Structure 1
Amino acid sequence: MNKKDFLPKILETGANELEIIDFRMFEELEDGSIYEWILGVNVAKVKEVIQKPENIYKTPGLPPEVEGVAKIREDVIPIVNLAKWMKIKEPKDKTGKYVIVMEFLREIIGIVIHEAKRIRRIKWTDINKPPASIDEKLGGKVVGVIEVEDGKLLLLLDFEGILDELGMIKVFSVDESQPESQTEEKFNILILDDSPVARKIIRQILEKDGHKIYEVQSGIEGLEFLENIKKEAQEEGVDITDKIQLIISDIEMPGMDGLTFTKKVKEDPIFSKIPVVINTSLSDKATVDKAKFVKADAHLVKFDTKDLLHIVHQYAIKKH
């Protein structure tokens, strides 16, 4: 029996698939009709879906979109009212009754929703860019859309971006105390992330450390970039690692996720010379196992400046 036989299907990372929780929010429109928002979040970020706690305690300093904090299991966590963030009018009989408890970026957060429907397994290639009107309505916090039954659209929300907007994730901000680089080692680094917020943070940290950064938004764009770099290196008679010394890739990206991208890089005789670090908001064991399975060189949880710089200097190819 080979290694793959021990892995559940969702860990067969070459499948370029993910599982999402399909949940609903309802909006009362001006004409009195009800609009049903079909929304989704990656199962890997979800600890559980529960009934909304009766005891939610207001604490000072929280944004208006946060109802307060509640004790869930052994953790006291903030409870975000998604309807308030979306700026939608809730129907009287459809107020939030459930909470999706999520864990990512080393934080646990509760999101109040109207209804949890089902788990869907989808391919990253089925995720498309959102129409501008929808993306604008939700403040640019839709990472992708998926066509579901009857031609309706399911929207994948950028919860990291939402919580960053609310000022609720400490590690999202660049550490202002980060010293200027004290090392002479400067690297050319390719980062893959579909989140503009994430790319900006990573770029700021790494540029302050003296490195040159290239950015793309998906695994597909990452492979195209590497093909161009390979061609340049061949024309100049140098090795590809003279051009790029490290790749840092997110996992969740439309079109081609970071695990499939990493697998393809490691299977290519030229690209595989470049170390790949999986950089994700997920810290669960399953995600770490997936990163190892596709032969990623390291796994990093967003966004710890110290950890990021340590990983860069540990794994980037040294050129002397």
Structure 2
Amino acid sequence: MSGVLSSVDARTKLVGQNRLEILLFHLGGSQYFAINVFKVQEVMRLPRLTVLPDCHPVVRGVTHLRGQTVPVVDLRQAIQMGPLNVKPEDATIIVTEYNMTVQAFLVSGVDRIVNMNWNEILPPPGGAGRNHYLTAITRIDNRIVEIIDVEKVLAEIAPYDTKLSDDVYEVDVLDRVRGKKILIVDDSRVALDQMRQVLEPMGLEVVEVRNGLDAYQLLMHWKETGMDIRDELTMVITDAEMPEMDGYMLTTEIRRDPELRELTVVLHTSLSGNFNKAMVQKVGCDAFLSKFAPHLMATEIQRLLREKFLA
């Protein structure tokens, strides 16, 4: 399976086409689960693990891969379905990179990679249980596929501290933009909450939506109602991977619109830095931010605000 995973060059061909590849896997039953292939480094049989004392209950242990110590997370247990009951020799790990860290997820088996259009990916239904751990659902072979909110899983294992000291904030910049809107776009509740904690102390009016299509429709609505978007909207901060319309396609649509093309657009994502540098150039984002680095977010956002309003 590891040889089937796309290279960065191959992945970039999907950008601007509103397409993605998902890796299907099982968690001890017939139900399909998935994550975006962009995040996957390799798939392999479960190696020997070293159990660490006092680690989080869903972390089965660590293994050593190519000079790195990699935690192995029981993904079934992490999404509150109970521990994965599988013999070690029958188990598989999916090695991933999120937020510039590498971790592996223990699963019972990997099925295949499927190439899809983002408009085939839908927001999850409301309700309790593991729906809280889904960013989206789709249907393949007439079966529901549940796409895991890995950011929520990782945030629960190692919570992020988003509180910043007052000296991070630049008074002259923030006095100029106080009360203006900033649009944040992400399908992860965890990500939206963390961005709010960084942005609201700036005095900005934070407007949030859960996918690129909703963001685009909101921008169209603001245009139709006569809002001075160039002045009232400071910028758009968008995730890359979202149901219905991804962040790359949203950026492409903004750049195509004569009234919106000058908007500052920032890509905010847990994908790898090298990949996103290529994407920023391809779709025309102004910058990208890796999740979740609150100090870097505050610094970069204020730099962009200074360029736009105080230059």
Q: Distance in 2 between matches of 1:10 and 1:144?
A: 22
* Structure 1 CA distance for aligned equivalents of residues 220 and 47 of structure 2: 52
Contact 1:180 1:209 in 2 (8 A): no
1:219 matched to 2:207? The reply is no
Structural mapping, 1:1-320, within 5 Å? 8=10, 10-26=12-28, 35-54=29-48, 56-85=49-78, 86-88=80-82, 90=84, 97-132=91-126, 136-138=128-130, 140-149=132-141, 151-166=142-157, 168=158, 172-177=160-165, 179=167, 181-186=169-174, 187=177, 188-233=181-226, 239-316=228-305, 317-318=308-309
Contact kept in structure 1, 2:164 and 2:295, CA below 8 Å: no
* 1:49/1:257 CA distance change after superposition, 3 Å: same
In structure 1, distance between residues paired with 2:169 and 2:88? 53
Asked if 1 retains the 8 angstrom alpha-carbon contact of 2:60 and 2:72, the reply is yes
1:178 Cα deviation from its structure 2 partner: 5.4
User: 2:252 and 2:135 mapped to 1: Cα distance?
Assistant: 23
In structure 1, stretches of 5+ residues that fail to align are 1-6, 27-34
Q: Provide the C-alpha distance between the structure 2 equivalents of 1:284 and 1:242, rounded to a whole number of angstroms.
A: 30
Unaligned runs of 5+ in 2: 1-8
Measured after TM superposition, the shift of residue 8 of structure 1 is 4.1
Amino acid at match of 2:13: L
- For 2:135, the aligned partner's letter is V
CA distance in 2, matches of 1:209, 1:61: 38
Range with bigger deviation, 282-291 or 175-184: 175-184
How many equivalent residue pairs?
Answer: 295
Q: Distance in 1 between matches of 2:54 and 2:85?
A: 28
Q: What is the root-mean-square deviation in Å for CA atoms of aligned residues? A: 2.2
Max Rg structure: 1
Instruction: For 1:129, give the aligned amino acid.
Output: P
Q: Is the 8 A contact 2:170 2:302 kept in 1?
A: no
Deviation at 1:124, TM superposition (A): 0.8
Paired residue type of 1:152: R
The whole-number CA distance in structure 1 between the counterparts of 2:82 and 2:25 is 16
The one-letter code matched in structure 1 to 2:150 is F
Cross-structure match for 1:29: none
Q: Secondary structure at the match of 1:154?
A: strand
- Measured in 2, the distance between the counterparts of 1:192 and 1:41 equals 19
Tell me how far 1:125 sits from its aligned partner. Answer: 0.5
Task: Give TM-score, length-normalised by structure 1.
Answer: 0.85
196 and 145 in structure 1: CA distance in 2 versus 1, 3 angstrom threshold: same
